[in-house]
Amino acid sequence: MVSFLLNGARVTVGDHPHLLAALREELDVTSPKDGCSPSGQCGCCTVLVDGKATVACSLALDRVAGRAVTTLEGLDPAERERYAAAFAASGALQCGFCTPGIVMRCKALLDRDGAELTREKAARHLGGHLCRCTGYHPILDAVELLARGGEGGEAPAGEAPVSPVAVGEASGGGATPVGVGSRIARYQADKLALGDKPYVDDLRVPGLLHAAVVLAEHARADVLAIDTGEAEAVAGVERVLTAADVPGERRVGLIHRDWPVFVAVGERTAYLGDVLALVVARDRETARRAAGLVRVAYRPLAPFADPLAALASDEDAVWGLEGNVLSRSAYARGDVDAALADSAHVVHEVFQTQRVEHAFLEPESTLAVPRDDGRLEVFSGGQGVWDDRRQIADVLGEPEDRILVHQVANGGAFGGKEDCANQCQTALAARLLGRPVKCTLSREESLRIHAKRHPIRIEAWAGCDAEGRLTALRTRMVGDSGPYASVGMKVLERAAGHAGGPYVWPAIDVEAVAVRTNNPVCGAFRGFGANQAQFATEGLIDRLAAACGLDGWEMRARNVVAPGATWGPGQVMDDGCQGARDCLEAVRPAWEAARAAGKAVGLGLGLKNSGLGNGFVEVAKAVVRFCEDGTVEVRHCWTEMGQGVHTVALQVAAQELGVDPARIRVVVDTSRELGAGQTTGSRGTLMGAGAVAAACRAACEDGCRVGVDYEGEHRVDWTDALGTTDRPTIHSAFGYAAQLVIMDRDTGAIERVVAAHDAGRVVNPLLCEGQVVGAVHMGLGYALSEEFPTDDQARPTATTLRQLGILRAKDVPPVDVMLLERPQPRAPYGIKGVGEIGLVPTAGAVAGALCDLDGEWRTTLPLRPATRR
């Protein structure tokens, strides 16, 4: 037993591995979040111990005895409000999972330094904190705002109001003060900032059991036996589940049902994220300790760790799945051979991108609760409630209406929470035991299980005429998709579609193959293949520009898509594509100024589709209801993961209904079929805004009667699958971006990134800027340092957050954001979506700047630093 002061009151706790476990599991203090315990590498659990900022997950309990621990719950209300308001006003939080820890660090710094706290000093002190969403600059803005208020003082006179609901002014265009186009704070930003909005692991129910997974020890091995006896004998263990306990389907998946929820005895593992067993116990520590006692006998086999070797082999990489080619996507227009032969300049390169981890800061967590009516309630932080429900029902062998999946706002996802991670196993445990079960993955388990961004080998030939007009492109891509499909075939399809970038290629010939290996599964990740493809495209454009004697800006300007031009797979571009040239023109002054100043400069131009496209019929619905108590409910079923879809829903409703936003409640409703599909592909804002607007208009036409559910729908049903027509409309909308990376020639440091983005209509400039800055941060990491490598045994060699190469606050250069608005035809309000495009051009721009600096063309990500001359 250990006693200490918690927020001024004496508490005594039992045995726990660290202070964070005592706070969260025994004392029910949940503002400190657990992103990586017990490694102390993310900072999400930072608390004050005797006034000093300390990560609670790496502090042994006996070191706290008799000391004073302060969490956000213990700050006085005025101080809480001040921090929440500053973070909300600055856009300093998105998913919010990192924010409570950062707020506590900021409090310690401000208590010590007050108005003396500078932005630079704060950035250095935030070195122990990761934020995967914001790009850190908005956090530093909040710190500056607080510091200017003086130590413990009030916000300075003349500062913009920082109400958590309304901040700043509408951006014009006839917007209402909080409607579409307004710079308002994120919905529920105050709750997020203070750690009061629960993530799945913060949920508590009576009689809760905890589960821990047992993962494969070899990437490819026959499973000879699983002995659960020793684990079952541990006091507090309720049950150990294996494949034999699954009553329904054992393989699940978003597209192909090929991903086993448990690998059975007599089968073969396919990667190190395979689940062999699930231990359910009275508490998490017991479950995890017992999981280590499950004995599995293996016959190890040589894994397929090289996708080219897997492609060439007749042997199946994955047991039970025939062939190692997951998918092949191809299209061609024109005579590429003849066009290349006639070209004044031809370049040929092989590019290689790396595998990358999402590193969302909230590890996957699922809570399943049996209900008295026989249904099973599942609380999931996934990105697609309907897919979760279908897969859980399949595994349980039950009809879908027996499963009610609640979508809980998550602590970041970026595509990494589209597949089920532990939802099916947790639901099965709850169903079999008849008790609530929660399974929260450790950071290492999370890293091993969920899908990554594909490493893709891209071999390309590109040509242009003597004036720099592009003539032809041939691209061959091979993506390492890992063992299970996830959405790997769609990622490679998207990479193929985007292979030409936002340029006009009179002749084009593209093929992209997704290969099954025993490396980590690869699937959806912000950019969805467009990043990899356009890293190569931009490299080709720069090389051709050099061959022609043109600068990079001029080369792009001569070839950028224009309305009526034929793009990539044959799509005739609409007026929305004018945004690509708008972005180029917007960065031109900065490009010329930087070059005139002797800086090393790289330019990237990119496009990214919004929505699913490729012939899918996309339908999103929303419901608006005027309630008896005067509130207005807006119901949708999109996952809020920091991108701001709730805020978009609120702004659209405020705009259409003309009601005070304080009256509007945004509710994620999964009790009815609102048909949104996955929250993915930059589609939440586009589709969600359309659906909410339609619901509001239905309400207005009917006089907004109290108690009536007004349903609205937004439908996109005019896209074509690749290869179904000569002039397809593959995608309904694209976002565009041009980015400059400006480097100091003496130090090789990136001084500044200039990011011009066309998002169609900007629903909320504060949140839109946040998406761009956060994406640039992620794009710079992708370019320079991030990687999730594996060895020749297909074993990840990065097992902690620190090893992933994620940039910290002091590493992110200033980002100048320019938001442009070239409306998208046929889209609600002209919205294009901005979630992914922000990191598409970045790696190419960094490669260009490095080449400008030292003359070396780079083809491999992450990029080598500049050679000093």
The interaxial angle of helices 765-784 and 137-148, nearest 10 deg, is 130
- Listing DSSP states for 92-112 in one string gives --SS-SSHHHHHHHHHHHHHH
Q: How far is the CB of 361 from ligand FES (least distance, A)?
A: 4
Q: In the complex with ligand FES, which residue's Cβ is closer, 70 or 99? A: 99
Q: What are phi and psi of 612, to 5 degrees?
A: -90, -45
Q: How far is the CB of 98 from ligand FES (least distance, A)?
A: 3
For residue 657, which amino acid is it? Answer: L
Q: In the complex with ligand FES, which residue's Cβ is closer, 97 or 351? A: 97
Q: In the complex with ligand FES, which residue's Cβ is closer, 307 or 412? A: 412
* Separation of alpha carbons 724 and 714, rounded Å: 24
* Separation of alpha carbons 56 and 40, rounded Å: 8
Q: How far is the CB of 527 from ligand FES (least distance, A)?
A: 18
260 Cβ contact partners less than 8 Å away, ≥ 6 residues apart: 243, 250, 251, 267, 274, 275
Q: In the complex with ligand FES, which residue's Cβ is closer, 96 or 779? A: 96
Q: In the complex with ligand FES, which residue's Cβ is closer, 132 or 858? A: 132
Q: How far is the CB of 768 from ligand FES (least distance, A)?
A: 16
Q: In the complex with ligand FES, which residue's Cβ is closer, 181 or 774? A: 774
Q: How far is the CB of 507 from ligand FES (least distance, A)?
A: 43
Q: In the complex with ligand FES, which residue's Cβ is closer, 89 or 219? A: 89
Q: In the complex with ligand FES, which residue's Cβ is closer, 251 or 777? A: 777
Q: In the complex with ligand FES, which residue's Cβ is closer, 303 or 774? A: 774
Q: In the complex with ligand FES, which residue's Cβ is closer, 450 or 474? A: 450
Q: How far is the CB of 265 from ligand FES (least distance, A)?
A: 40
Token pair belonging to 95: 């998913």
Alpha-carbon distances, residue 307 vs 60, 312, 613, 793 (angstroms): 44, 9, 28, 13
Token pair belonging to 34: 């657990």
* Separation of alpha carbons 560 and 277, rounded Å: 53
For residue 20, which amino acid is it? Answer: L
Q: In the complex with ligand FES, which residue's Cβ is closer, 126 or 837? A: 126
For residue 748, which amino acid is it? Answer: G
Instruction: Determine the Cα angle at 638 with ends 274 and 194, to 5°.
Output: 90
Give the helix/strand (H/E) hosting 369. strand 365-370
Helices (H), 571-664: 578-596, 645-657
Give the helix/strand (H/E) hosting 49. strand 46-49
Q: How far is the CB of 808 from ligand FES (least distance, A)?
A: 12
Q: How far is the CB of 329 from ligand FES (least distance, A)?
A: 32
Q: How far is the CB of 493 from ligand FES (least distance, A)?
A: 29
Q: In the complex with ligand FES, which residue's Cβ is closer, 123 or 514? A: 123
Say if CB 478 and CB 352 are below 8 A apart: no
Say if CB 375 and CB 403 are below 8 A apart: yes
- Residue closest to 356 by CA, chosen among 40, 778, 842, 846: 778
* Separation of alpha carbons 307 and 559, rounded Å: 34
Helices (H), 597-678: 645-657
* Separation of alpha carbons 41 and 709, rounded Å: 46
Q: Are strands 566-567 and 571-572 parallel, antiparallel or unpaired?
A: antiparallel
The residues that bridge with 821 in the sheet, in sequence order, are none
Q: How far is the CB of 803 from ligand FES (least distance, A)?
A: 18
Q: How far is the CB of 680 from ligand FES (least distance, A)?
A: 17
Q: How far is the CB of 515 from ligand FES (least distance, A)?
A: 32
Q: How far is the CB of 807 from ligand FES (least distance, A)?
A: 13
- Listing DSSP states for 120-182 in one string gives HHHHHHGGG---SSS-SHHHHHHHHHHHHT-TT-PPPTTPPP--SS--S-B-STT--TTSTTB
> What's the distance, CA 767 to chain centroid?
15
Q: How far is the CB of 681 from ligand FES (least distance, A)?
A: 20
Q: In the complex with ligand FES, which residue's Cβ is closer, 98 or 165? A: 98
Q: In the complex with ligand FES, which residue's Cβ is closer, 130 or 756? A: 130
Q: In the complex with ligand FES, which residue's Cβ is closer, 20 or 794? A: 20
Residues that bind ligand FES (CB under 6 A): 93-99, 131-134, 361, 412, 642
Q: In the complex with ligand FES, which residue's Cβ is closer, 132 or 494? A: 132
* Separation of alpha carbons 349 and 800, rounded Å: 34
Instruction: Determine the Cα angle at 639 with ends 633 and 644, to 5°.
Output: 75
Token pair belonging to 218: 């070899």
Farthest-apart Cα atoms in the chain, separation: 82
Q: How far is the CB of 136 from ligand FES (least distance, A)?
A: 9
Q: How far is the CB of 641 from ligand FES (least distance, A)?
A: 9
Q: In the complex with ligand FES, which residue's Cβ is closer, 773 or 794? A: 773
Calculate Rg over the CA atoms of the chain. 26
Q: How far is the CB of 97 from ligand FES (least distance, A)?
A: 5
For residue 350, which amino acid is it? Answer: V
* Separation of alpha carbons 116 and 136, rounded Å: 20
Q: Are strands 470-480 and 507-515 parallel, antiparallel or unpaired?
A: parallel
Residue position matching structure tokens 């004392």: 27
Give the helix/strand (H/E) hosting 352. strand 345-352
